Structure 1
Amino acid sequence: MADVQAVAENRRVSPDFLHKPTLTGDRALLRPFRPGADLPALAAAIADPEVRRMTGSAHHPPFDEDHLRRWYGSRNEQDDRLDLALVDRAADRCVGEVVLNEWDGPNRSCSLRILIGPGGRDRGLGTEAVRLVLGHAFGHLALHRVSLHVYAFNPRARRVYEKAGFVAEGVLREALRDGDDRVDDVVMSVLAHEWARHRGRP
């Protein structure tokens, strides 16, 4: 019974995740998924060896097309998380995704995850996309804390997060096996009062 009450309380204070906004920047656009049009780019990004390594997914079997079609076909209906397609405005094509998930209602916090395929890298799309979704998280959803994880072998991603205001707050030591090596997992976060001060440009 206590678990049922906890779930109900978590739902009661849930932000409006069912609303899937369109967030527009100079280079990046975040919008609801268009599964038919976006699926080829998303499937290619998820299968990319660098993406698989940087997200800690290299040891997991790849997703098949049917699974991805069902997954992305259901994202716009979720009320406990926000999944948005990341679009390169210059090319007018989906190059990845941005996600707010792992909602913690009593503490008004959630996690952020971003994935960018080869066609969207090294052009500032990641930094702008993170700033856009944080603006929505703290402005529209009234969150208090947004956190993420980044592996120590991914300094490029860490730099993107730092530019958007994330602060390293701890290390999960040797949390990932990477070939014969063990890699640290760095926990980072940004808080509402920090965002109010710097708006993603610390």
Structure 2
Amino acid sequence: MFAYKPTLVGKLVTLRPVGPEHAEGLQELVTDPEVRRLTGSHGQIDAEASRRWYATRAEQEDRLDLAIMARDEYVGEVVLNELDAANLSCNLRIALIGARAFGRGYGTEAISLVLEHAFGTTPLHRISLDVFSFNDRAKHVYKKAGFVEEGVLRDALLWDGEWHDSVLMSVLRTEWQSRSETLP
């Protein structure tokens, strides 16, 4: 479903298919302490593994990995993964590189571009995600993009000795189409 790897252009960001040229940015992303907390990432990934990972994403037809570029600078990634082709659904995940990318509208625009691409060029019906309960900024952005809260996985993350819930959210094609038709 994701054999075609597009470049999507917005006002603030350009989304490009990831490649090894983005590995240095990925390494910065996955080692940033705040990003690790917000994504609940306990594991480590070294620079060579980052390069190998991004070098193989173009071959994957069951996912779409896009680098978020602001003025030709890598500021994060947005990914459609966990494709369930039989049920026309997948997962969305996004991570911005940290403080220099937070609060600038990059994530909002990246999500909007990806939803427009997914619902405009594929038969997908449902895109879901989960976000930790303490990540109010992300929850706000997801709701603004049309995602609806579906439920909670209680105590899904243990971080620094404290338990945190994970909030499940999704947007359906019909909801996205309704929103798109009413926007200016």
Aligned to 2:128, what secondary structure does the other structure show? strand
How do 1:67-106 and structure 2 match up within 5 A?
67-88=49-70, 91-106=71-86
Please name the residue that 1:168 is paired with.
Answer: 149
**TM superposition score normalised by structure 2:** 0.95
Residue 109 of structure 2: which of 114, 118, 128 is its match?
128
Are the structure 2 counterparts of residues 132 and 201 from structure 1 closer, same or farther at C-alpha, using a change threshold of 3 Å? farther
Please name the residue that 1:107 is paired with.
Answer: 87
Aligned to 1:199, what secondary structure does the other structure show? helix
Aligned to 2:86, what secondary structure does the other structure show? coil
Residue 122 of structure 2: which of 132, 136, 141 is its match?
141
Deviations 1:106-162 (A, max 9, x none): 110000000100232110000010010001111101210000000001000111101
Q: What displacement does 1:29 show?
A: 0.9
Q: What displacement does 1:86 show?
A: 0.6
Q: What displacement does 1:69 show?
A: 0.8
Residue 164 of structure 2: which of 183, 186, 190 is its match?
183
Report the AA paired with residue 127 of structure 2. Answer: V
Q: Which has the larger radius of gyration?
A: 1
Report the AA paired with residue 52 of structure 1. Answer: R
- Please tell me whether the aligned partners of residues 27 and 124 of structure 1 are also in contact (alpha carbons under 8 angstroms): yes
Report the AA paired with residue 81 of structure 1. Answer: R
Deviations 1:61-98 (A, max 9, x none): x101111110001111111111111111xx32111111
Runs of 4+ in 1 over 4 A off after TM superposition: none
Please name the residue that 1:23 is paired with.
Answer: 8
**TM superposition score normalised by structure 1:** 0.86
Count of residue correspondences: 182
Q: Indicate the RMSD between aligned Cα atoms, in angstroms.
A: 1.5
Report the AA paired with residue 32 of structure 1. Answer: P
